[in-house]
Amino acid sequence: MKKAKIAIIGPGNIGTDLMIKIIRNASNLEMAAMVGIDPNSDGLARAKRMGFVTTADGLSGLEQMDIWGDIDIIFDATSAKAHHQNWSIVQKYPDKKIIDLTPAAIGPFLVPPVNFNTTKDMQNVNMVTCGGQATIPIVAAVNRITKVHYGEIIASIASKSAGPGTRVNIDEFTETTARAIEDVGGAEKGKALIILNPADPPIVMRDTIFTLSENGDQIAIKESINEMVAEVQKYVPGYTLHQEVQFEEIPEDKAVFIEGLGHRYGLKTTVLLQVVGAGHYLPAYAGNLDIMTSAAMATGDKLAQLSNL
Amino acid sequence: MHKLYIQDVTLRDGMHPIKHQYTKQQILDLAIALDKAKVDAIEIAHGDGLTGGSFNYGFGAHTDWEWLEGIAQHLRHARLTTLLIPGIGTIKDLKRAKDLGVESVRIATHSTEADISAQHIEAARNMDMDVSGFLMMAHMNDATSLAKQAKLMEDYGAHCVYVTDSAGALLMDEVADRIKAFKDVLEPSTEIGIHCHHNLSLGVSNTIVALQEGANRLDASLAGMGAGAGNCPLEVLVAYLNKMGAEHNSDLFQLMDLADDVIRPLQERPVQVDRETLSLGYSGVYSSFLLHAERAAKKYGLDTRTILQELGSRKMVGGQEDMIVDVALDMLKKKKP
């Protein structure tokens, strides 16, 4: 089977980790080009040493090169602002796809084990946020058994793994993730919290998901969650349930008051997850970055497989 | 010299002991009474700041907007203020609070993470609000490094930066060192604030130490109504300030009456130094964890103190309430053969 040729824009931590993952683990993707804007960047130098085409003239630079015609999929690991420019180029070539790892979210959110099939035909898809990739599968796993009124997630990450992009615009994380809990996870109302913990040695990424749903079969919910965890593990091996799924019935006379929903009762489900990174380019504690690059690669792999069918 | 400025936190930090269940009427009555007793600022929000209502921190009886609505027009002396923790609340929420008459805001981050407040401090300045940086869990960063974080907040535009002893874990010398370090690096025009928890019975002492070292914005609450063993008790602070001859606006007897007649009867779980709240200060744990840890201890048949101790040794920071159940379940696994 012919592999899809890919280019990565943004030779930073995320772009470099993604490159290494694709070289080592991708079934249907072939690393071809690394695109940056700084000729002195370490990431570009590394890609060049490894024998890939590089340019420091941005995507418009790559567009002028011979290899451009062969590129099938572009991964954008830059910023929301840069993505708008990159998309304006890719848009002109309907046979090319772009997987957006920035918060720009021009295309629909894509969480591989949840909604790949409904978004696979889009030319531009967005990978939500690290916390979204880790938690939305769980919200969806509950929602496929019983209606989820409310999904709340808490992502705790090591301070060292929170890059400047996250730090200067932390609202983007909470707002985007909350929206995707609703759009992709299926909750009527979503809420996202993010905590940076500076402990040294750095803490491993932890994610907690609370859902309030209609009362449902707890065994079926538990099984659904376990199946979903196994699905995510296929592309993020370090994604595990840290504790048994916890249930608590909230009776009608003890309904909770949720902003935007009013008083609600039913079944509270608590899921405590841990995400250990593969330690490719980024350290193992940075599970938050690993799950983004892993989800992006999984998406690319699936897209490439489809186009060969 | 900046004027002494007393900020009441009964209606924000004081949300914790009653699980964020103040009624609208209670908030209105207390705000009016506190204004009459002439505190300089009244903070109103969910205990964990704007939009803190959640499974993780507890859902409030009302939204922040319901609590804040209709308060500003009743205040003659005090500024209406609120609190926002980036990662929980957003700039949109801040705008909404501003539209409800909030004039002043504190942007709170962990003591090492000031840079996530840049966006919010700038937004507050652009809305012409008084804005402070609020460096929580100040015991987890040394004086010099904490002062560097304060300097960042000043650079973003904060009018004031607080040493926030969220765990009530700082000793008196440690408070003095931190305020001195702030004085060394901050512009003279920048005010310095102190926010204490009473877990080691140092709420008043640490506030006074800070004042003597140059802090001028002092946080306190009626009968100490706040997380853990509570905050610096407002009426006691004012009595102390009177005795030392400090210039301020507040009326001691009115505050005493409010503390004893209105607030104490609300404290279902007494706000006091006891083995659990002392353990917060002793182990350096975020004071808001108290009720959550007590609930987990009861549910899983464990000792609250041991849970708190474990949270402290895992270096959990403010906002990680979800890790309380995680710790409890880990302890349960160890207990079972």
Answer whether A60 touches B (CB < 8 Å). Answer: no
CA distance B229 to chain A (A): 24
Please give the pLDDT value at position A103.
87
Strands A4-9 and A29-35: parallel
Q: What percent of chain A has pLDDT over 90?
A: 92
Q: Which residues contact A247 (CB under 8 A, 6 or more apart)?
A: A218, A221, A267, A268, A269, A270
Residues of B in contact with A168 (CB under 8 A): 115, 118-119
What is the C-alpha R_g of chain A?
A: 20
State residue A137 phi and psi, 5-degree precision: -55, -35
**8-state DSSP, B233:** B
Burial of B181 (0-12, 13-18, 19+ CB in 10 A): buried
Q: Where are the domains of chain B?
A: 5-266, 275-335
pLDDT at residue A273 tops 70: yes
CA distance B314 to chain A (A): 8
Please give the pLDDT value at position B337.
63
How far apart (Å, rounded) are the C-alpha atoms in residues B271 and B257? Answer: 17
Nearest to A280 by CA among A17, A10, A14: A17
For domain B5-266, the CATH superfamily is Aldolase class I (3.20.20.70)
Residue B266 Cα distances to B219, B222, B288, angstroms: 20, 11, 17
Would you say how long chain A is, in residues?
A: 309
Which candidate in A130, A155, A187, A289 is catalytic?
Answer: A130
Our answer to whether residue B20 is catalytic in this structure is: no
Preceding amide of A201 cis, omega within 30: yes
Please give the pLDDT value at position A165.
78
The SS3 of residue B38 is: coil
Question: Across the interface, do A272 and B325 touch by the CB < 8 Å criterion?
Answer: yes
Please give the pLDDT value at position A308.
63
| Of residues A282 and A180, more confidently modeled | A180
- Residues in B lying within 8 Å of A, measured between beta carbons: 51, 53-56, 59-63, 86-88, 90-92, 110, 112-113, 115-116, 118-119, 140, 314-320, 322-323, 325-326, 329-330
Answer whether A126 touches B (CB < 8 Å). Answer: no
Question: Across the interface, do A246 and B118 touch by the CB < 8 Å criterion?
Answer: no
How far apart (Å, rounded) are the C-alpha atoms in residues A185 and A143? Answer: 7
Domains of chain A and CATH, by start: 4-127+290-308 (3.40.50.720), 130-285 (3.30.360.10)
| Of residues A104 and A149, more confidently modeled | A149
Neighbour order of strands in the sheet with A53-55: A53-55, A29-35, A4-9, A71-76, A97-100, A124-126
Interface of A with B in 145-184 (CB under 8 A): 152, 154, 156, 159, 167-171, 173-175
At the second CATH level, the architecture of B275-335 is Orthogonal Bundle (1.10)
Angle at B233 between CA B227 and CA B234, to 5 degrees: 120
How far apart (Å, rounded) are the C-alpha atoms in residues A17 and A12? Answer: 8
Q: What is the mean pLDDT of residues A141-166?
A: 94
CA distance A192 to chain B (A): 7
Question: Across the interface, do B322 and A268 touch by the CB < 8 Å criterion?
Answer: no
Task: Give the mean pLDDT of chain A.
Answer: 95
List the structure tokens of A52: 């890939």
Residue type, B139: H
Question: Across the interface, do A242 and B113 touch by the CB < 8 Å criterion?
Answer: no
For B55, the closest chain A residue by CA position comes to: A210
Please give the pLDDT value at position A309.
47
Q: What is the pLDDT along chain B (337 residues), one digit of tens a residue?
A: 799 999 999 999 999 999 999 999 999 999 999 999 999 999 999 999 999 999 999 999 999 999 999 999 999 999 999 999 999 999 999 999 999 999 999 999 999 999 999 999 999 999 999 999 999 999 999 999 999 999 999 999 999 999 999 999 999 999 999 999 999 999 999 999 999 999 999 999 999 999 999 999 999 999 999 999 999 999 999 999 999 999 999 999 999 999 999 999 999 899 999 999 999 999 999 999 999 999 999 999 999 999 999 999 999 999 999 999 999 999 999 887 6
User: How do the residues of chain B divide into helix, strand and coil, expressed in percent and rounded to 5?
Assistant: 50, 15, 35
Question: Across the interface, do A174 and B90 touch by the CB < 8 Å criterion?
Answer: yes
CA B280 from chain centre, in angstroms, equals: 15
